[in-house]
Structure formats: structure tokens, C-alpha cells
Amino acid sequence: MSEAKKTQLSRRDFLKIVGIAGVTVQAGGLVASGVAAGKDSETYTGWESFNPGTQFFNRKPFEFEGPAHTPSGPVTRPSHLTDYVFGRVAIFQKGLQDHPDWKLGDPIEAMGFPPPLTKFYQTFPERLEWDYKTFTETIPNNKMDTKLYGNYYMLANAYSSGFETHGAYLPSPKTPPEVSDFTKFARGMPEPTPIGPQVPFKSPELASDFIKEIAHRYGATLVGITKTKIDFFYSEGWAGCPADYDFTKLPEHWQYAIVIGVPMEWDSVLASPQASTSYEAYDRVSTAAIRLEGALKYMGYAARSNTPMTSYDLIVPPFAVEAGLGEVSRPGYCITPEVGSNCRTAVVVTNMPLAVDKPIDFGVAAFCNSCKICADQCPSGAISKANSPQEQEWTSGSSIRGYEHWYINNGACYNFWRESMGPMGCRLCVAVCPYSRKDNWVHQFVREVDPRDPTGFTRETLLWMQKNFFEKPQAIEYRRVAAGGHFASYRPEPSWMHAESYLNIPITSPHTGG
Amino acid sequence: MFLNGSLFWYMMGIIFVVIAFAFKAFVEDRGWVLTWWKGLIAVVTYTIFSLSLYAWGTLVGENESGAGFKFFLLGLFVTLVLAVVLWRFLSAKPKNA
């Protein structure tokens, strides 16, 4: 009897065994639930969403009285001829075609560039070297690489092309602001018609609320409002304006800037620089802006969209920062709390009276000073590795156009664009940025804790983990094969971009050479 | 989806209560005293262990398996340190014993 009692399981022993089993079940359940949380499509913030819930970060505790940009020296406005890389390289390309014997080291004046561009190249001689290299080396190399490896990126290019094609149908202003901004297109009307009388709102605050609501419903992930400032408008070349247009002052109706932003798709953007595409967000943000322009004009207010698929009369990041969307980052664009660097922006300028937002400080400046991951990863060296914007190696003096801020070498950046494969562009700095992450609990936790930690301990711990835990290619690996790379991407292309799985064509992988 | 749903977390909560009672029984059967602060250390230790597992899974779901595993190892290390500390506290004899 006593022997039988000894082998019988007591209630307490049973409880302890159940406890051990519970730990095992919880461990398995937590890992499985974590995997589900990591894959959840709900974490793809703003991708193809049309509701205000995408702007979920409470900005109130981080707001400050603007402006976020204060001049530190004589202010000059950005130029389509110099600062805008596509405008500059187009002129450079034309110059090279007209002067095919011109070589680096020859007098730049011989190229017959507009005086501001000649002066720019004299001030920033490394930009001249990069632009020259782009057309004499990089583009010819890229043509050879495309013959070899182009088929590997066929599906990525086809995907991108869908957005690019739609974007090409979006209208750019064809007449000066005094005409185009006061006329609207309507279905069945071959010519634009004048907008009607202004419909007054009860208050600017209510007008802003309404504009933000519909902006989200038009596809904007983020929206903020600020006043316009001439310092950040191009000094020439506004869409639809003749060369003799008076660019020295803003049209009276360009009073408010409504800034909107959308992300690129979260999986494909991680396949930067080769397989991702900017066009998916360019198309969406441009479409949302033009919809918004239509709504403003319907209510009788002048409006003009500045979008990546149509035209820009201004540079967007300063307006995005002033409108409280985020903060300026090391690569010069705006980092936002919700989508990090993965934010493509557009601006609608209007004369509708609106309540403006305040800029925010949620710790990006300190983070960027310390992080440098984008600068270390960038294979072109276009992003400064300095400890602060004031210490950048390629600024003339302590400011750019009168403001102290980060400034990339866009000649080097563009050069690598033209070297990379797949859809045009790079986006590597967006992909590697620790802020550009999907909205799962890990990143929600970090997003809320880091800006509230005055000691910087959270930031430094996160950076340590980011640099030591997350695998990434060496910068050289992103480059072309002949330059010692293998056209690496930050993360592998999504499986639906694998041309060899779908297409019956000869495919050579740059990663394996076969 | 079940693994993200309320039912899953209710079940996790129930299992956690069972684990807590089992731990209490284990401690008492060894003749140790489970004070509130020792219990708190036990909860913190188990929470860190659980979070490292959950974070591992989340990063795997994000296709960051390598980072997930390293994160889990870091969490496991902290868990082990805390567990040893807790064991020493629990098994320590009172000074006047």
C-alpha cells in the first residue's frame, strides 16, 4: 500500500509538470505569434491605404514653435540649373554632345553653360568630376551590364513600369500660375475652365481638418500644412512659366503648402538599390496631390500641385519639416515617425485659408549625428560621414544656400543611380535607415521610447543592435561586377520578382554570374 | 488570425497563471520563501525571456532571422543572469537560521 502511494502523482507534482508544459507551450506560441506579427500585412504602414489612421504618431509632445529653418547666412534660392540634379545633368549632357572633345581639366567656360552652372562647377569641382564620369563611364558601363543582366530584373522593371506609365498621364501646369492655378479640367471639356467663387469655411482650423481628411482618402499616408516661403522655391523654371516670368516673388495666391507623403511598398523597397522602384510612391503621391488640387479648385480656391510625376516649383523637405511631418535627416530628406525615410512627398500650394501645423523634434537630429549607417552603406560616398551638418566636408562655408543642414553630393548619388540595375534609381539610404521599418510591436515600442529618453541610452543601444545584429552587404557589393561588386541588394528581391521562376528567357544572375 | 487574436492572448494569460502557481508550488516544496520582491524578480525574468522569444519570432517574420536569433541570445543571457540571481536569493538561508 505504502509502495503504491509513493508512485502516485500528487496534486502539487501534477501542477509543477503542467507548469513546465505551460512554459513549453508559451515559448512555442510566442515564437509563432511573433512570426505572425512580423509578417502581418497590417504593418505595411500606408501602403495602398486610404484612411487617416496611417498618421498615428502623437506629434503634440514633440511640437515646437517654428520655424525649423533659420538662416545662418545670406540666403540664395535653389536652382533648376545647379541644385536640381536632373536639370544640371541634362545641361551637362547637352554640353558634352556639343563639345565632344572637351575633357576633364579643360576650362569649364568652354562648355558654354549658363553662368550659374559654370559658377556652381567652379564652387563644387567634385560635382563636375562626377557628372563627367556619369556620361563618359557610368552610362556606357550600364548599357553593357544591362545587356548581360537586364533580363534578371525584367519583372522588377515591368512592375515599376505600371506606375511610371500611369504617372505619365498626370497633367503638369502648361501656363503660368496666374492662369493654370485658377482653371480646372473637367471630364468631357477639352479646355480648362475657370474655377468658381470661393466657398468660405467657418474657420481655417475646420478647413485644415477637411483638407487632411480628404488628403488621406485620396491616398496620402501623411499630411501637414505650413505657410509658403520663397527661400525654398526654385529661382527659375516654374512649370508653365516663360523665361521672362518674374521669379523674384511668389504669386500672391501661393500662401499655404499642403504637404503629403506616401511610402514605397515595404518589401520591395528593402531590395534596394537594384530591384525597388520609386515610381510606386511617385505615382501614388502625385495622384493624391492632383486629386487634392481638384477638390480645392472645385471650392473656388487656386491650387497647384508640385509632384514627382509632374513638376516641382519648390524643394519639398523644408516644407515637410515645417509642416510637422518629420525632421531633416543625414541624406537631406525628411524622416517621419510613421514611415521613417520611406516617404515620397508632394506639395499642393493654395490660397485657401488654413490652420498651419508646427514642426516637431522627435530625436532624428541626434540619431542621424550618431548613426551614419546610410553613409557607411552608400557605395557612392554621396552621404557625409561627418559628426554634424556643420562639419560636412563638401559645403562652402558653414551653410548651404544660407541654411545649415545636411547636404548630399548629388553628383555622386546620381552616378550610382546610373550604375545600378533594375528600375531607375537607388533608394539604398531609405532601405537601410533604422527608421524605415514596418509598424509591428518592436518598432512601435522603439518609436515611442526613444524620443522620450533624454539620456540617449535607448538610441545608442538601438544603434548598437542595429549595427551588430542586422546583416548587410558591404558597400562595395552593391556595385557592378567589374567594380568588385555583384549588384547586391540590401535584402533579397521578393519572390514574385524572380524572373528565372516565371520567364522563359535566358537569364544571367549578377550574384552568381550564371 | 488566431496567432494575433484575442483568444490566443487569453489562452496565453491563463497558461501564465498556471505557470505562476506551479512556480510557487516548486519554491514552497523546496522550503524556500517567496517574498513579493523575489516574486517580482521572477516575473521580470520570465517576461524578458518571453519578450526575447516573441521578438525573435517577429524578426523572423520580417525576414531578419539572423538579427532575431542574436536578439534572442541576448535576451536569454539576461534571463540566465537574472535566474541565477533569483536562485541565489531564493536558496539563501536567513542569517539567524
Predicted confidence (pLDDT) per residue in B15-71, tens digit: 999 999 999 999 999 999 999 999 999 999 999 999 999 999 999 999 999 999 999
**What are residue A433's phi and psi, to 5 degrees?**
-65, 125
CA end-to-end span of chain A, whole Å?
A: 76
pLDDT in tens, A498-508: 999 999 999 99
What is the pLDDT at residue A3?
Answer: 53
Residue of B nearest to A470 (CA): B67
Is A221 a member of any domain?
yes
Report pLDDT for A72.
Answer: 86
Query: How many structural domains compose chain A?
Result: 1
Per the domain annotation, does A226 fall within a domain? yes
In a domain, A403, yes or no: yes
Residue B9 in contact with residue B16, Cβ under 8 Å? no
> Looking at the domain assignment, is residue A465 inside a domain?
no
Beta-bridge partner residues of A348: A258, A305
pLDDT at position B51 is: 96
Chain B contact set for A12 (CB, 8 A): 25, 29
**One-letter amino acid of A190:** P
Per-residue pLDDT at B79 exceeds 60: yes
Surface-to-core class of residue A366, CB atoms within 10 Å of its CB (0-12 exposed, 13-18 middle, 19+ buried): middle
A446 within a domain of the structure (yes/no): no
Residue A206 is part of which domain span? 48-77+124-439+471-502
Of the partner residues B22, B59, B71, the one whose CB lies closest to the CB of residue A15? B22
What is the per-residue pLDDT across A286-344, written as a single tens digit (0 to 9) for each? 999 999 999 999 999 999 999 999 999 999 999 999 999 999 999 999 999 999 999 99
Q: What pLDDT does residue B97 have?
A: 55
Tell me what ipTM this predicted complex has: 0.94
pLDDT tens, A193-224? 999 999 999 999 999 999 999 999 999 999 99
Indicate the pTM of the whole model.
0.93
Q: Domain for residue A464, yes or no?
A: no
Residue with cell 486610404: A50
Residues of A contacting chain B (CB within 8 angstroms): 12, 15-16, 18-20, 22-23, 25-27, 29-40, 438, 440-442, 465, 468-471, 491
Q: Work out the minimum CA distance from B38 to partner chain A, whole angstroms.
A: 18
The CA distance from A65 to the nearest CA of chain B, in Å, is 38
Q: Comparing C-alpha atoms, which of A324, A430, A405 is closest to residue A59?
A: A324
Q: Please report whether residue A458 resides in a domain.
A: no
Residues β-bridged to residue A63: A360
* Cβ atoms < 10 Å from Cβ of A37: 24
pLDDT at residue B95 greater than cutoff 80: no
Enumerate residue ranges in chain A where pLDDT < 70. Answer: 1-7, 394-398, 513-514
pLDDT computed for residue A418 by the predictor = 96
CB B27 within 8 A of CB B90: yes
Does residue A376 fall inside a structural domain? Answer: yes
At residue A297, the pLDDT reads: 98
Q: What pLDDT sits at residue A1?
A: 45
